[in-house]
Amino acid sequence: MEKVKVIVGLGSCGLAAGAGKVYDKLKAVHDAKILGFDLKKTSCIGMCYREPLVEVIDKSGSYLYGEVNEAKLEEILEKHIRNHEPIKEYVVKTEMFETADSSFFEGQVKIALRNCGYIDPESIEEYEAREGYKAIKSITENKLTPQDVIKTILDSGLRGRGGGGFPTGLKWKFANNNKADQKYIICNADEGDPGAFMDRSVLEGDPHSVLEGMTIGAFAIEASEGWIYCRAEYPLAIKRLNIAIEQARNRGYLGKDIFGIQGFNFDIHIKEGAGAFVCGEETALIASIEGQRGMPRKRPPFPAEAGLWRKPTNINNVETFANIPWIVNKGAAAYAAYGSERSKGTKVFALTGKIKHGGLVEVPMGVTINDIVFKLGGGITDDKKFKAVQLGGPSGGCIPEHLGHTIVDYDSVNATGAIMGSGGMVVMDETTCMVDIAKFFLNFTRKESCGKCTFCRVGTQRMLEILERITEGKGKESDIDTLQELAYQIKDSSLCGLGQTAPNPVLTTIKYFRNEYEAHIKDKKCPAKNCKPLLTYTIIPDLCTACMLCKKVCPSKAIDGEKKQPHFIRQADCIKCGACFSKCKFKAINVE
């Protein structure tokens, strides 16, 4: 009789939620041979909002259990693994019956994430069992030329998944056309927005797919050396990458004359970055690998002509490379069958913010924002009103609820003023102040500016000062025009993509939520009731029961009133902390 298989998700998200303790408990039971089952590890399964996740596979099927703690694990061990009785109320995914979370997986098509959550990322054998390294082997066996490979990628319609969406095959073609004694290929795994969670998850969960994608790219552009630029804050990703690289070298998949091709010498190294957002920009990344300060360089020449150490260089991000082996294996037409007219294939999104089902999803290009938010994401937390999504990372833009029908492809998203970026999607509800959101993201890009360009270095600081003034109730009616003027100057005068896109959160919030700016400036009110300096707390006498809870928690002693008497807040002494509002059980505190 085949043993039951138990698989534990041990990505960073799972480990943070306590999956390590769950695995240790299972391992103790397994090693003691109390129950007979096979135990293995995997990485992020995508359903981050249900971590820790444990999958049990028995003769009847697969059952994914969510939010597994030690108490639940005891039940699973006893009822399911010992007595073969699945616990339906704990199951979040199975083909045997519908679950409350089934919609999270409906409509997903996993290409970049095809192995994440299915294989042990530290096992090259498990990667090979799922067609791993088959693509690069087929290139050598069929004696394809670099031009043949480039044509396949061009025909697939794959566009770079890291930001601007430049056609990947065309990028490879440029690098191939520039002849040199040395060429390089680089994987950018350092993008510092919510979408970088996707990059980290692929590196943690399926590192060999990235290595194989880079090797195919190296063959196509005739490069002999590769670099993975990964921020040091991703220790698990770096650990698993090092394991995968060593395994690939031992197999002869990296090194000299690899895959039997005389003269095809290719190896990969890891460069640990210091977490600078600007190093997501390719020329700043190149400078960092070279040991210089991570600052962008003027283009032209572009990296395809003079990149790393002034040699022809190709740069793609993690998701782009993870797609490559699948495209070579299945064919360009199979990939192009997914997506919209101008954006082919699938896209991974990292869902976060005021969303019920936060995590990683991979969908065909062309689905709408509403489909992602309400079908896969399960809607807004606490069933509040959907307000907007911030798409494209800190320098992306805010797309309002009334444009929720917008399809997610490069051109449609760009038309709204946002950018696709690497796939971060921050969902906002009615309690989100859009002026405060613009301030939050601008503060991030201001801090991350390398300082090379005056408009980016000084302009973002001036914009931030204006936003701070507005959220404090000190704004002037001319501030909105000044923000827009500065924003366009920064976009037009900055050297790199960070500066050129940094004003996007401000421009899109002014475009779609100008009324909120005006309310802050003219009425000295925050419509979302979020900006503390603009809030006024008062007690509704008819609802006050004189329980005195608010008085007890007020840190500034601004509440007067005795037992059996309605209380009163002295506005001059109120510090607007909201402690009274949070503590009142009778909804007697009004906020305006």
One-letter amino acid at 512 equals Y
CA–CA separation, 65 and 62 (whole Å) = 10
- Residues whose CB falls within 8 Å of the CB of residue 474, separated by 6 or more in sequence, listed in order: none
CB 394 within 8 A of CB 486: no
Please say which residue of 375, 404, 429 terminates a domain.
Answer: 429
Q: Is 161 in the same domain as 191?
A: yes
Tokens of 441: 């993201």
CB 540 within 8 A of CB 498: no
Q: Is 212 in the same domain as 130?
A: yes
The DSSP annotation for 164-188 comes to: S--BHHHHHHHHHHS--S--EEEEE
Helical residues (DSSP H) of 233-317, grouped into ranges: 235-251, 282-289
Phi, psi of 143 (to 5 degrees): 55, 45
Q: Is 24 in the same domain as 51?
A: yes
> CATH number for the domain including 509?
1.20.1440.230
Position 528 in a domain: no
CB 256 within 8 A of CB 265: yes
Position 312 in a domain: yes
CA 351 to mean position of chain CA atoms: 7
- CA-wise closest residue to 161 among 334, 327, 374, 331: 327
Q: Is 141 in the same domain as 233?
A: yes
Q: Is 390 in the same domain as 283?
A: no
Q: Is 364 in the same domain as 286?
A: no
Sign of CA dihedral 99, 102, 103, 106: negative
Q: Is 139 in the same domain as 15?
A: no
Q: Is 168 in the same domain as 295?
A: yes
pLDDT at position 427 is 97
Tokens of 198: 């996707």
Q: How far is CA 228 from CA 119, 238, 268, in A?
A: 22, 10, 7
- Residues whose CB falls within 8 Å of the CB of residue 392, separated by 6 or more in sequence, listed in order: 193, 413, 418, 419, 420, 421, 424, 501, 504
Q: Is 254 in the same domain as 157?
A: yes
Position 286 in a domain: yes
Position 559 in a domain: yes
Q: Into how many domains does the chain fold?
A: 5
Q: Is 416 in the same domain as 450?
A: no
User: Which domain covers residue 559, as residue numbers?
Assistant: 535-591
If phi > 0 it is left, if psi is from -120 to 50 it is alpha, else beta; for residue 235 that is alpha
End-to-end CA distance of the chain: 67
- What is the pTM (predicted TM-score) of this model? 0.93
The low-confidence residues of the chain, meaning pLDDT below 50, are: 1, 194-195
Q: How does pLDDT run across 262-293, given as a tens digit for each residue?
A: 889 999 999 999 888 888 889 999 999 999 99
> CATH number for the domain including 578?
3.30.70.20
- Residues whose CB falls within 8 Å of the CB of residue 28, separated by 6 or more in sequence, listed in order: none
The secondary structure of 85-105, three-state, reads CCCHHHEEEECCCCCCCHHHC
pLDDT at position 193 is 53
Q: How does pLDDT run across 369-407, given as a tens digit for each residue?
A: 999 999 999 999 999 999 999 998 888 999 999 999 999
> CATH number for the domain including 358?
3.10.20.600
Q: Is 329 in the same domain as 350?
A: no
pLDDT at position 196 is 61
Position 111 in a domain: no
